[in-house]
Structure 1
């Protein structure tokens, strides 16, 4: 894993980067060709983002 992020600015930057990646993946999916694995991948990405937000919140 990477190093721990404590700076609020770095935390926001990290989350923005991860959201950008999520949006790129979402935009690349063609609904008529979407598989269950694609949906699972998106859900996993959201879960990871939520986990990071909670970690950052706990660091105050």
Structure 2
């Protein structure tokens, strides 16, 4: 793993990148072929993003 992102701009950039990745995955999903594992993965991605937001907030973002 890399070193923690301490500066506010770096944290915001990281969160934007992760959110864009989530949106790309969401756009690529075919509703007709989506199964429970796909939904679980989307929920996991959201949980990870939320966890990062909390982590950055505790660092003084």
Question: For the superposition of Structure 1 and Structure 2, which TM-score range results when normalised by the shorter chain?
Answer: over 0.9
Paired residue for 2:44? 44
**Deviation (angstroms), 1:3:** 1.2
Unpaired segments ≥5 residues, structure 1: none
**Deviation (angstroms), 1:46:** 0.2
Unpaired segments ≥5 residues, structure 2: none
Q: Please report the RMSD computed on the Cα atoms of aligned residues, expressed in angstroms.
A: 0.5
Higher relative contact order (CA 8 A, sep 6+): 2
TM-score (norm 2): 0.96
Number of residue-to-residue matches in the alignment: 60
TM-score (norm 1): 0.97
